[in-house]
Structure 1
Amino acid sequence: MGNEGIGVAIVGYGLAASLHAQALVQLENAQLVAIVGRNLEKASQLASRFGVKALSLEEALKREDIQAFIVTTPTGTHLDVVKEIVPYGKHLLVEKPLESNLERTDELIRVCNEAGVILGAVFQHRYDDASLRLREYMEKGLLGKPVMGSAYVKWYRPQEYYDARSWRKSVEASGGGALAIQASHSIDLLLWFMGEVARVCSFMDTLVHTGIEVEDVAVVSIAFRNGALGSVEASTATYPGFAERLELHFEKGSAIIEGGKIVYLKTSSDEIPDVERGESGLSGASDPAHVDLEPFVRMLRDFVNALREGRNPPLNGREGRKAVELIEAARRSALESRVVELPL
């Protein structure tokens, strides 16, 4: 696309839209052009904060100064929104999870590929300082083979969290509860560090919240293709909420990440400094807005650079699909009381 700035519109006007807008305005080679939504009054409230227009999707698609859309609508609507956008050749960055189930996720990826538009997935925690640092050590071969990895996302959401947005209560609309909405970032990181999944066995239930069909507690056991083992514990019923925690064990050392920061790191390599009592970073454990904005900025910069260079971003549709596949495998395992083999 050359050296000109990329014009971007955000579809949606909730918390995720606000975070993307705050990050986007910090980029030099991109410009926030509009907030897009069916309810223009709500879209205008967010748009006015950033001095941009509130537009319907139909209006935004006709704008030549918009080359890309960030989709932040409820999970189960992503495919429908994408299908409206791709005929216009606009590129896409889609919030996590990509869709509410694997079938709709694969359809979303397919329509983007057939239209020749670039698709990026939102998993900004790959851009946390801790994630980038450990990934660098891995790629240099300083950690050795993965042995065991565990993700703990024991957060708390009051009943009002679900009552305020009916789509959060529905598996079809949200893709699930604590696993899909709260733990998907940690699941993505676990897969990024540990590798491809071979088998999954899980249990999930709704123990505290009422009037919802999604899980508020889930435990998942994972066998990876490289022989490593892992697990995920996720909840929105663990009062008062605790910082998400990722424990990673390799042949040559171990690391623990809390709230996007390394709180423990010890290896057999002289090239890696030990961390024994690091401070935890920001976490959405009890407040979804309590997050670090810098990883959003880094992720969006990568996405915009990919558009300018006409290539897929590192976090493309296929990468985004992996978390959806694991979540669906876990749901099948819990519902059918069996071990589920991957790929699905």
Structure 2
Amino acid sequence: MNTAPPPTARPLRIGIAGCGAISRNHLEAFRALDHVTIAGVCDIDLDRARGTAGAWGIPAAVNTVRELLDLGLDIISVCTPHPTHEDVVLQAAAAGVHVLCEKPIAIELASAERMVKACGDAGVKLGVLFQRRFWPAAQRIRAAIDDGTLGRPIMGQCSVMLYREPEYYSRDAWRGTWANDGGGVLMTQAIHYIDLLQWFMGDVAEVYGKITTYKHGGHIEVEDSATAVITFTSGAMATLEASTAVSPSLGVQVRITGRPVPPRPSPNSRKAATGGWTCGQYPGRSAPSLPTRKECRGTFPWKGSMANSSPTTPPRSRILSRPSVKEANRPSQAGTPRRPCGSCWRSTNRPVPANPSTSPNCRQIPCPVFGLQAKERHGIQHTPRRPSAHPGPQRPHPKNSP
């Protein structure tokens, strides 16, 4: 990716608020860009801020967010504990500085809403770190949904089965508490994959779930394990399982299952598109032209879709025309005469193959044209039958009409 700025653009000035473990990811990411410069870092522990600045060659290390904003920043990265996000974001918005905030945005909904409103009112951008969306696998799933390859998502599964040592929670005093962490495995580890699940499947309508603590009850107040069943506004469903008490760790997985959605061609493209459809009752036969004049009085099921769609697309209905006898016997593009085929003449004009014995799966519809009848089984062949005394209704030839 070319990250070079326009010739006249000055480098963006970045400030890092909070010098804890997660700040390293931000420092590495900004260092990888050639049109930004890290102007300073801040932390309530000034010694830690100075240590970070010295290790990364950053010119300024300060003790407060106000001092950091006074360095003339364009963007501030918020890497402080969860409950402090709101204060940092509100100060940055008031100073006209864009914000990139670590997840979760807040531990209370009202706090998140205030942050969004403040940035909106100030005209600055507010971003929250859900970088898993940029993973190649996540991008491929999103692309498959957008271009119709996966179809409409109907089922999802999110599995986050990890292991954390007790030292992980004791490393920082705010970890594992409702007041400061805001939650356990759901808020800290599974949140990235819940975000992916919602990104793939849409807005959530209903959630039923349970949480518990299996292993880390002596170290944390919050949950270390959770399960849930999620229903989305589209009607799709998903399951969620998450834990930091699984040994050995099983990793993470997000699965999405879709249902193919047949394309709906425009009226101008219908005639050209019919070559890719096959008859629902008579597999293997091409569909006739769609109506340009008088419509048939009924609908006829068609199976399949256009050439670029899945062959498992469910049947759909189309209104077909009733052509004249002259048109029915006119050779088609493939050289097959268009003749009435039994009682199905009342629904549509199906092109009849030159060799009926190669047309399988006829549904016991007698054909007065060829005098054929099929047995309904897979891979059947047509066999002659005796002419019936009552062959059924037939359209008279114009020459024989009174």
TM-score, normalised on structure 1?
Answer: 0.71
CA distance in 1, matches of 2:66, 2:128: 23
Once superposed, what is the RMSD of the aligned Cα atoms?
2.0
CA distance in 2, matches of 1:142, 1:214: 40
Indicate the residue corresponding to 2:41 in structure 1: 35
Q: Deviations over 1:304-343 (max 9, x none)?
A: xxxxxxxxxxxxxxxxxxxxxxxxxxxxxxxxxxxxxxxx
The structure whose Rg is larger is 2
List runs of 5+ in structure 2 lacking aligned partners. 1-5, 262-306, 311-402
Shift of the 135–47 alpha-carbon distance from structure 1 to 2, 3 Å rule, reads same
Indicate the residue corresponding to 2:99 in structure 1: 92
Which one of the candidate residues 199, 203, 212 is aligned to 2:220?
212
Which one of the candidate residues 69, 83, 92 is aligned to 2:76?
69
* Greater relative contact order (CA < 8 Å, ≥ 6 in sequence): 1
1:58: Cα distance to partner? 2.3
Indicate the residue corresponding to 1:243 in structure 2: 251
Contact 1:18/1:46 (8 A) holds in 2: no
CA distance in 2, matches of 1:91, 1:79: 14
CA distance in 2, matches of 1:152, 1:241: 11
Q: How many residue pairs end up in the alignment? A: 256
Contact 1:201/1:221 (8 A) holds in 2: yes
Indicate the residue corresponding to 1:51 in structure 2: 57
CA distance in 1, matches of 2:13, 2:49: 18
1:223 aligns with 2:227: no
Q: Following TM superposition, where does structure 1 have runs of at least 4 consecutive aligned residues deviating by more than 4 angstroms?
A: 269-272
1:3: Cα distance to partner? 2.2
CA distance in 2, matches of 1:215, 1:46: 32
Q: Deviations over 1:184-218 (max 9, x none)?
A: 10010000001110000010011211142110000
1:197 aligns with 2:173: no
CA distance in 2, matches of 1:270, 1:207: 50
Q: Deviations over 1:206-240 (max 9, x none)?
A: 12111421100000110011111002111111122
Identity %: 35
Contact 1:217/1:236 (8 A) holds in 2: yes
CA distance in 2, matches of 1:152, 1:103: 29
1:63: Cα distance to partner? 1.4
Which one of the candidate residues 14, 17, 21 is aligned to 1:11?
17
SS of equivalent residue, structure 1 residue 246: strand
TM-score, normalised on structure 2?
Answer: 0.61
CA distance in 2, matches of 1:226, 1:29: 42
SS of equivalent residue, structure 2 residue 174: helix
Which one of the candidate residues 78, 83, 90 is aligned to 1:83?
90
Amino acid of the structure 2 residue aligned with 1:161: Y
Shift of the 252–79 alpha-carbon distance from structure 1 to 2, 3 Å rule, reads same
1:84: Cα distance to partner? 2.3
1:38: Cα distance to partner? 1.3
CA distance in 1, matches of 2:103, 2:161: 19
Indicate the residue corresponding to 1:178 in structure 2: 185
CA distance in 2, matches of 1:4, 1:127: 26
SS of equivalent residue, structure 2 residue 231: strand
1:29: Cα distance to partner? 1.9
SS of equivalent residue, structure 1 residue 171: coil
